[in-house]
Structure 1
Amino acid sequence: MLTFDLLHTDPANADTGYAGSHARRGTLTLNHGVVQTPIFMPVGTYGTVKGVMPSSLEDMGAQIILGNTFHLWMRPGQDVMQSFGGLHGFERWNKPILTDSGGFQVWSLGAMRKITEQGVHFSSPVNGDKLFMSPEVSMQIQTTLNSDIVMQLDECTPYLSVEPKTKGQITTEREARTSMEMSLRWAKRSQDEFARLENPNALFGIVQGGMFEHLRQESLEALVAMNFPGYAVGGVSVGEPKDEMLRIMAHSPHRLPTNKPRYLMGVGTPEDLVEGVAQGVDMFDCVMPTRNARNGTLFTRYGDLKIRNARHKTDHGPLDPTCTCYACKGVTRPDGSVSGGFSRAYLHHLDRCAEMLSPMLSSIHNLHYYLNLMAEIRASLESGTFGAFRAQFKADRARGV
């Protein structure tokens, strides 16, 4: 089940000269709950958002998280998932879950895989077993996972060619077309198997076409004709320069149906999220908040902070004085005492000592920052002030910490 209700769109403002954008505010109703959009979805590759307790995710306002079809198929496997009734019961998360198809992970195996029209033959990175992933197999795994949103199996069109004669060069139009057209055929096969399995959830199609707008348009139109409940834009943030990504981001999302959710896969920085919303995107995911946290980079309202820098060694201030997360502000107990609310000096110390608490607190902060950013975007769309919010966001981030 999927219902998408469009509540607000970004208006033009004659008084300020603001021309408006494709930004929009909506609600997405799924089998395990309602999601307010635009939304950022934390990535839980192995059935957990790395280093973050589920209760912390709920406290910071996470509405929907991701699971990874490929990795959960490798470990613990379909039999275990089936015994728990799916991923919700296994990881004890009662809100919506989106699972990717496994296509990106298979693509990233490089020489360990062989792509054919039927599917992908590859060696398991876990134990070397010979395995096969097809649109049908992906749908069967995701049905076992019982995820609220299921993604079609597609071929992720790389920015750099993978053909032997041109390997390492920019993917040609011919290569991108061949890949895109196969993804369309796989979309139909995914749709047919999804229906055969009588999966009660929602299946999204994925727009491909590399860095070629006309191929993106062909892919988009063919997928819309298949009438998926929702659509994703894939094949971005795969090694292309930022200006190329922004060009494709400006092309595809707002051309998708207005009455269905739009998902930009694997993107990105806070700036990417704000610009993606401006181009009509409703849903985002990226490993960046937690991955950067583990590497000592914290996102703040006033730019990125490198906690490993020596200047933080004696700093009594929080990571971000405007942030209300557990790491920055803490929580007040019933007796009036405060738990949490740590200094930059303390977080710098934890990181230098490689203490486990360091990436945990940093991940909580970064995810809270992303989720709060999306909440502020939603509020600005409700009040008709997204243009002013967008401008202030850019000014604040450029100011620096």
Structure 2
Amino acid sequence: MQFELQSTDPKSKARAGKVTTDHGVIETPIFMPVGTVASVKAVHQTELVEDTKAEIILGNTYHLYLRPGTETLTAAGGLHKFMSWDRPILTDSGGFQVYSLDGINKIKEEGVKFKSHIDGSYHLFTPENVMDIQRQIGADIIMAFDECTPYPCPPEYAKEAMDRTHRWLQRCINRFDETEPLYGHSQTLFPIVQGSVYPELRKISAEFIAETNREGYAIGGLSVGEPHEEMYAMSDLVCDILPKDKPRYLMGVGTPANILENIALGVDMFDCVMPARNGRNGQLFTSEGIINIKNAKWERDFSPIDSNGTSYVDQLYTKAYLRHLFRSNEYLGRQIATLHNLRFYLWLVKEARERIINGTFREWKELMVPKLQNRL
């Protein structure tokens, strides 16, 4: 994997770059739709390419390990072939998921023993086998196994988890470097910065991670309930430490406004379930604000779903029709809303990129953020 820093905004820390992988080029800043179990819910792969303009998607190691399982994925020739997706894929390590299984996981130095949410069977994730699993999945970019702390958490626990994350990282690196990709394309390992919302811990972690000299870096443990101001403060601190010639990926973030604010701080890559999940529940993100399409005010609104929207569904269907689909519990409504939201997120980061390149990003961001938070 290669990263080329192409432009920086003169009035912020925003960057425009290009990530080159064996499965294609990713122009940053970029948003990655979440395809947890080899599927971005309610969206065909052809729609991801042709309508939402997705350049990379995310898969989840925990879920793919449990179902369909690594034997099936290996027999298929890896996740790309299994799901008929020939563009880049990033997999997270599954760490967040196993730690989220509150009461049915046990964290030790060896790794994490957890109970499957599917059938109750017990499994063990270690830094070594998580590398092996992600080799078998075959994503272009894979994540180190880390310990994600909840919010709030005491500083003592945040430090303990950070230190364990660093020890596990060295084990991940050792295993990754002594093994080879399985499907003829290269893979890249991203370490993850932890430290909760404690500046001194984030500084230690970012410096430790930077010294590993990998091809890219991730920022984890944010967007877990902390105030947005604390998220921004941690992103700002970490981006000032991580190398400028490597991509920075902020995991699990967030709202459209969150994304623009973090782009301004120097973040390059994002993922979040929000556009698809909220879309399936009738919430639409637009350049003028947020629409709850279930509200009665849209019952006889025959204007396009989003007059400024760039998905084909935005002009083809009306707000009244989409509301009717949700009220009738028709799955088509969820598909339309998901397509709209994903396309809006991809439009947003692409517009941010163009603004960075032409030097107008900060002014545009300051105008956009308040509008993105409107309730229409």
TM-score, normalised via structure 1 length = 0.91
Does structure 1 residue 182 correspond to structure 2 residue 164?
Answer: yes
**Are the equivalent residues in 1 in contact too, given 2:264–2:362 (CA < 8 A)?**
no
Aligned to 1:378: 353
Residue-pair matches, total = 371
**Would the aligned equivalents of 1:233 and 1:253 in 2 still touch at CA under 8 Å?**
no
Please, which runs of 5 or more residues in structure 2 have no aligned partner?
Answer: none
Matched, 1:91 2:79: no
Once residues 313 and 67 of structure 1 are traced to their aligned partners in structure 2, the CA distance between those partners, rounded to angstroms, is 37
Larger Rg: 1
Which amino acid letter does the alignment assign opposite residue 311 of structure 2?
Answer: C
State the structure with bigger RCO (CA 8 A, min sep 6), 1 or 2. 2
User: What is residue 70 of structure 2 aligned with on the other side?
Assistant: 78
Task: Sort the Cα spacing of 1:120 and 1:395 in 2 relative to 1 into closer, same or farther, 3 A.
Answer: closer
Show the counterpart of 1:325: 311
Q: What are the residue-to-residue correspondences of 1:160-175 with 2, within 5 Å? A: 160=152, 171-175=153-157
Aligned to 2:117: 125
Residue 49 of structure 2: aligned partner: 58
Partner of 1:215: 201
Cα contact 2:301–2:319 (8 A) shared by 1: yes
Corresponding residue for residue 113 of structure 1: 105
Aligned-residue offset at 1:400: 5.1
Q: Are the counterparts in 2 of residues 254 and 281 from structure 1 also a CA contact under 8 Å? A: no
The 1:243–1:391 alpha-carbon spacing in structure 2 relative to 1, beyond 3 Å, is closer
Q: Secondary structure at the match of 2:7?
A: strand
Counterpart secondary structure, 2:313: coil
1:264 to 243, 250, 259: 250
- Conserved 8 A contact 2:128-2:171: yes
Structure 2: distance between partners of 1:315 and 1:102 = 43
Distance 1:399 1:355, change over 3 A: closer
Question: Match of 2:233?
Answer: 247
Aligned partners of 1:210 and 1:327: how far apart in 2? Answer: 40
- The answer on whether the counterparts of 1:22 and 1:254 sit within 8 Å (CA) in structure 2 is no
Correspondent of 2:300 among 311, 314, 321? 314
SS in structure 2 at match of 1:176: helix
Alignment check: 8 A CA contact 1:37 1:282 kept: yes
Q: 1:224 to 1:395 in 2, by over 3 A?
A: closer
Tell me the amino acid that sits aligned with residue 6 of structure 1.
Answer: L
1:110 is paired with a residue whose SS is: coil
Distance 1:43 1:395 in 2: 26
**Paired AA for residue 27 in structure 1:** K
Q: Are the equivalent residues in 1 in contact too, given 2:285–2:372 (CA < 8 A)? A: no
Give the Cα separation in 1 of the matches to 2:370 and 2:303.
Answer: 22
Superposition map of 1:26-65 within 5 A: 26-59=17-50, 60-65=52-57
Structure 1 letter corresponding to 2:345? Y
Alignment of 1:198 with 2:180, yes or no, is: yes
In structure 2, C-alpha distance between the alignment counterparts of 1:41 and 1:109, rounded to whole Å: 24
> Root-mean-square deviation (CA), in Å?
1.1
Unaligned stretches of 5+ residues in structure 1: 12-19, 161-170, 330-340
Choose 246-255 or 103-112, whichever is displaced more. Answer: 246-255
Q: Aligned equivalents of 2:7 and 2:241: distance in 1? A: 17
Tell me the SS of whatever aligns to 1:259.
Answer: coil
C-alpha separation in 2, matches of 1:48 and 1:399: 31
Which residue identity is paired with 1:354? N
**Taking structure 2 as the reference length, what is the TM-score of the superposition?**
0.97
Cα distance change, pair 218–327 in 1 and its aligned pair in 2 (3 A)? same
Q: Deviations over 1:174-220 (max 9, x none)?
A: 11100000000111111111111123310000000011011011111
Cα distance in structure 2, aligned partners of 1:8 and 1:26: 7
- Separation (CA, whole Å) in 1 of partners of 2:173 and 2:166: 11
Identity over aligned residues, as a percent? Answer: 46
Is 2:321 the counterpart of 1:346? yes
1:395 to partner: Cα distance: 4.6
Match of 2:148 among 148, 156, 180: 156
C-alpha distance in 2, partners of 1:57/1:227?
33
Deviation at 1:254, TM superposition (A): 3.2
Q: Is this contact kept in 2: 1:300–1:319, CA < 8 A? A: no
Report what 1:166 is aligned to. none
Compare 317-326 and 255-264 and name the one that shifted more.
317-326
Query: Taking structure 1 as reference, are residues 146 and 394 closer, same or farther at Cα in structure 2, changes over 3 Å only?
Result: same
AA aligned opposite 1:391 = E
Which shows bigger deviation, 242-251 or 139-148? 242-251
The runs of 4+ residues in structure 1 deviating greater than 6 Å are none
Structure 1 residue 266 displacement after superposition: 0.2
Structure 2 residue matching 1:44: 3-state secondary structure:
coil
* CA deviation vs aligned residue, 1:85-118 (integer Å, no higher than 9, x gap): 1100000000000000010000000110000000
Aligned match for 1:144, one of 119, 136, 145: 136
